[in-house]
Chain A
Amino acid sequence: MKRFAFAASVAAIGTLTLLPFVWFVLTSWKNAAEINAIPPVILPSFHWDNYRAAITRYGLLHYIGNSAIVASATTLISLAIASLAAFALARFKLRWARSYLMLLLALSMFPQIAIAGPVWRLLNFLDWLNSYHGIVAAYISLTLPFAVWVLTTFFQELPYDIEEAALVDGCTRWQALRLVVLPLAAPGLFTAAILVFIHAWNEFFFALIILTYPALQTLPVGIALFPGEYTMPWGEIAAASTIATLPLVALTLIFQRRIVQGLSAGAVKG
């Protein structure tokens, strides 16, 4: 009885988690008649037309390209800046290190609307609206607090003696970071990179206000603003959504342990 109840709750968690998404993926393989059927048809006839239409008619590949460029650039630059900062915070014994970390933590909690107007005006002033560097700059500031937190946690856990030996042998701090700390912290960097990438890939609010030219828009903007006034092209939306989500689901399934570890380093450790 007890085992049955437990198995039932495992099944319930699995179903509730997966069912909505599986339903959407199934929709992407349906033809128009199956999508508009009332009541709904469960199993699709496995058409690929929606995928073809999403790519040819709605320029899906273009949005994917933009998202890939923006998310990769954000990840690289954000991690570079964060590793420098985290190294200083973890190793230089600064009196205000904790205060700076707390400030970053507080910043990461504020709703984007609190800074959106001024950020828009600043980018407009620099003529950076509708540009990759404009959106990447905004994303770096969004992801930096988290990246610094996670990396500081990881760097603090590294043994200090190798680094100390390197410093005694005449390494500069900069060389110690580059040659000793970064290689040792590679798993931590990788974890932070996955999380920053997912964040940048999924971000919508800043992308919406900063990127108004369709040629530059990222995947979330494309999916949110899918054209269709009277009838929504649900098949194509579902196809585009499936493609947008697949890389993330793959990352999540493969790197589940790292992601959980990274999230708890960012959220739980004080």
Chain B
Amino acid sequence: MSNSQDPVWRFLLPSFVFVGVFSLYPILESFRLSFYRMILTLPWLGQKFVGWENYRDLITDPVALGSLSTSVIFVAVTTPFEVLLGLAMALVLNESFRGRGWLRAIVLIPWAVPTVVSSQMWRFIFNDRYGLFNYLLFGDATQLYWAPLAEPGLALMSIMAADIWKTSAFAALIILAGLQGIPGELYEAASIDGASAWRKFRHITLPLVKPALLLALLFRTIDALKVFDLVFVMTQGGPADTTNLLQFYGYKKSFAEGMIGYGSAIAVVVFLLSLFLSVLYIRLLGTGLLGRERQT
């Protein structure tokens, strides 16, 4: 359908260039670098081909394995929370009540706050002496105050809480779009048949909103692998490497320590993990599980 004056490639070329140079080439290059040993900031020292050595190091490095399991725990805890909270919020936002427009706008605020800002904010809230968290929990009993960000178990939970606050709204948006696609007649018919609110939820809402829930879950899972800002600002991976999420560990190795070969091996593992998840996601979209285009 192209005519000779303005062929297709002219419209697509700029996007091809950017995608090729800044996305596809770097991914392939990450694979290549993961088989070399080199220092990022001292390239003149040369790059030495070391085969699978970086990967062998990776599976015997307790910090890397810890980082992987921390990431898995992070994903396993935050995503169900975010989807359930998102569902709860979406159910409320789907009702009509006075001030709904306001609440819908307010719910978007955590999404709009820069992650660095929300990281500093939660770091302050979890402060061991004058943080809001301690105050709400213990009030004036200052001798009981905790230092959540300095204690191995609590630090990860604090970061999870910050993530859940920031991203549940996004899950709510996806789920709300799903709820709005459910035809109102179904509920009317059920009411005429005398169905209780719970039965309507169980037999109409839940089955019909399931695709949106799955979508929100996958979306959040993929995003949870990208968490970096929270760790960088709140804990720098500590205490005792208990909050070393994968993206942060990769950064630390590649950029803070300059071990770009080893860092690339981490990058490849993270890449393969998210590739698997995004293929799953695209399949889900492709099967038309979401039904027809919905009105917004």
Contact (Cβ within 8 A) A122 B278 = no
Interface string of A225-244 (1 = CB under 8 A from B): 01000000010011001001
The residue that A120 contacts in the complex, of B122, B232, B255, with Cβ under 8 A, is B255
Q: Which residue from chain A places its CB closest to the CB of B98 in the assembled complex? A: A10
Complex Cα–Cα for A38 and B129 (A): 6
B1 within 8 A of A: yes
Whether A270 and B1, one on each chain, are in contact in the complex, defined by CB atoms closer than 8 angstroms, is no
Residues of B within 8 A of A113 (CB): 228, 246-247, 250-251, 254, 263, 266-267, 270
Which residues, 243 to 273 on B, are CB-close (under 8 Å) to A?
246-247, 250-251, 254-255, 260, 263-264, 266-268, 270-271
Closest to A87 in B: B11
- Asked if A201 contacts B103 (CB within 8 A), the reply is no
Q: Which residues of chain B come closer than 8 Å to A244, judged between CB atoms? A: 114, 117
Chain A interface residue count, Cβ-Cβ cutoff 8 angstroms? 97
Interface stretch of the complex, out of B150-158, B165-173, B185-193, B198-206: B165-173
Nearest A residue to B266, CB-CB: A113
A13-B117 contact, Cβ under 8 Å, with A88-B11, A117-B260, A268-B174 = no
A223 and B116 contacting across the interface, CB-CB below 8 Å: yes
Per a CB cutoff under 8 Å, which of A14, A205, A220 touches B103? A14
Given A81-B14, A264-B173, A268-B294; A144-B19 close (CB under 8 Å): yes
B23 → chain A, closest Cβ, in Å?
5
Which partner residue on chain A sits nearest B102 by CB separation?
A14
Select A81's contact among B18, B170, B173, B267, beta carbons within 8 Å: B18
Give complex CA distance A238, B119 in Å.
Answer: 11
Do B267 and A6 touch across chains, with their CB atoms under 8 A apart?
A: no
| Residues in B whose Cβ lies below 8 Å from that of A268 | 174, 177-178, 212, 215, 290, 294
Closest to A78 in B: B18
Q: Contact: B97 with A118, CB < 8 Å?
A: no
Given A9-B92, A241-B117; A92-B2 close (CB under 8 Å) = yes
A110 touches B116 (CB 8 A): no
Contacting pair A115 B22 (CB below 8 A) = yes
Contact of A204 among B116, B124, B225, B296 (CB under 8 A): B116
Given contacts A116-B267, A198-B112, contact A110 B117 (CB under 8 A): no
Q: CB-nearest residue of chain B relative to A262?
A: B296
B225→A111 contact, CB < 8 A: yes
Interface bits B92-126 vs A (CB < 8 Å: 1, else 0): 10010101010111111111111111111110110
Interface centre among A106, A265, A268, A269 (most CB of B within 10 A): A268
Q: How far is it, in angstroms, between the C-alpha of A20 and the C-alpha of B99 when the chains are bound?
A: 21
Candidate in A39, A119, A226, A241 with the most chain B CB atoms within 10 angstroms = A39
Which residues of the partner chain A approach B25 to less than 8 Å between Cβ atoms? Answer: 118, 122
B109 touching A173 by the CB < 8 A rule? no
